[in-house]
A and B are shown apart, each in its own frame.
Chain A
Amino acid sequence: MNILFLGTSGVHHALIAANIYLKKPVTDFNSIPDFANIALESSGFPIYVGQDKEDNQVYSLGAGSDIDMAQKSIEDLRNVLGYSTHDLVVKPVSVKGEKLLTLLNHIPASLGGRLWHRLIPALILKSQLKTMYRDISVK
């Protein structure tokens, strides 16, 4: 099965959620592969994060400001291609300030990319780690 963590940004909270799910360390965001990788985010493709103990493939995906719309499209496409929830499960990830993260992703790297794409998102997400751990364990 494939598990897709879907957020407004696929290289911030959705990526952290996928790593938490895989029981990988997330306290130091800089050590998370592809964290704040805006080039990868802007491609629109899902990001492979790893494989869990049941051999499920885990991905992270950013879908901009309308997560509900993206989830609907992904689930419709899964059905159109003849697959079901046994093959692909979408897990939406929501955090406070998620729309701001989407906006920050649009700021060009030449205007201080590290600040907008890495430091401010890290500040927004750091305080919500406990909540994310709790939400993922429920999922």
Chain B
Amino acid sequence: MKIIYHCYGGSHSSVMAAALHLGLLDKDRIPNETDLMAIPYFDKTNNADFGSIRFMGKDEYNNEVYVLGKKNMGDRYSNLLKGIAQILGEEEQLLAVNCMNRVNMFMKLGGFSSRKIGLVSLGRPVVVQGSRKAFLELVNLVEITRLRAMQMV
């Protein structure tokens, strides 16, 4: 199965969710800045990455985990992806997960400053703070997703 976590930029919440799913982040410990910056793609994407489905790794059940930035397309993008999988007869092979409902204001402001306008030194500490605040929310989302993936098999 292919699991795609998506958010606005494919740079923070979706990347953290994918990292949690793959065990790159310990779900029992709130990460610090070093932990977060060690995750591939975390606060490192640019405008050219919007729309690209990027591979993060395989989980213990051999599910492939990806991340995607889809701007402000919301849940509609999940349906778009599901619709394409349906056309190809692979709807049972895709799980698209919108992470935006777990994103807080700090992540939005910090992410905008760091990624959109390039003020990394200003935005990164804010997005890291927001990511730490959202951590348990993302742990919950990933747990739900893992259960859904198991039910779909």
Interface residues of A (CB under 8 A from B): 2, 4, 42-46, 57, 59, 61, 63-64, 66, 68-74, 76-78, 80-81, 83, 87-88
Whose C-beta in chain A lies nearest to the C-beta of B93? Answer: A81
Q: Identify the 3 closest CB pairs spanning chains A and B, nearest first.
A: A44-B79, A69-B51, A44-B76
Point out the residue from B73, B78, B93, B94 that lies within 8 Å of A64, measured CB to CB: B73
Main secondary structure of the interface of B (DSSP, over half): mixed
- Which A residues touch B75, using CB under 8 A? 44
In the complex formed, the residue of A with least CB distance to B76 is A44
Known contacts A44-B77, A45-B80: A80-B71 contact under CB 8 Å: no
Contacting A68 at CB < 8 Å: which of B51, B81, B88, B94?
B51
Query: Considering the chains assembled together, what is the distance between the CA atoms of A70 and B51 in angstroms?
Result: 6
A77 touching B93 in the complex, CB below 8 Å, given contacts A2-B88, A45-B80, A46-B84: no
- Can you spell out 12 A-B residue pairs with CB atoms less than 8 angstroms apart? A44-B77, A46-B83, A59-B87, A61-B80, A61-B83, A66-B71, A73-B77, A76-B53, A77-B4, A80-B64, A81-B88, A87-B88
A73 and B85 CA atoms in complex are apart in Å by 12
Q: Does the CB pair B71–A78 fall under 8 Å? A: no
Q: Which residues on the A side are within 8 Å of B94 (C-beta)?
A: 77, 81
A77 touches which of B71, B73, B79, B81 (Cβ 8 Å): B81
12 more CB-based (< 8 A) A-B contacts, given A57-B87, A69-B50, A76-B51: A4-B84, A44-B76, A45-B86, A61-B83, A64-B76, A69-B51, A72-B52, A73-B68, A73-B70, A73-B80, A81-B85, A81-B90
**Complex: A54 Cα to B135 Cα, angstroms:** 51
Is B146 among interface residues, defined by CB-CB distance under 8 A?
no
Residues of B within 8 A of A45 (CB): 79-80, 82-83, 86
User: Which B39-71 residues have a C-beta within 8 angstroms of A?
Assistant: 50-53, 64, 66, 68, 70-71
Residues of B at the A interface (CB closer than 8 Å) are: 2, 4, 50-53, 64, 66, 68, 70-71, 73, 75-88, 90, 93-94
Say how far A38's CB is from chain B's closest CB, in angstroms. Answer: 13
Could you tell me the distance in whole angstroms from the C-beta of A71 to the nearest C-beta in chain B? 8
CB-CB < 8 A to B83: which residues of A? 44-46, 61
Chain B hits for A72, CB < 8 A: 50-52
Q: Which residues of A contact B86 (CB under 8 A)?
A: 45-46
Q: Which of B68, B79, B84, B90 counts the most A-chain CB atoms under 10 A from its CB? A: B84
**Minimum CB distance partner of B6 in chain A:** A73
Chain B residues, CB < 8 A from A63: 73, 80
Whole-angstrom distance between the alpha carbons of A46 and B84 in the complex? 7
CB distance from B35 to the nearest CB of A (A): 28
Which residues of B are found within 8 Å of A73, using beta-carbon distances? Answer: 51-53, 68, 70, 77, 80-81
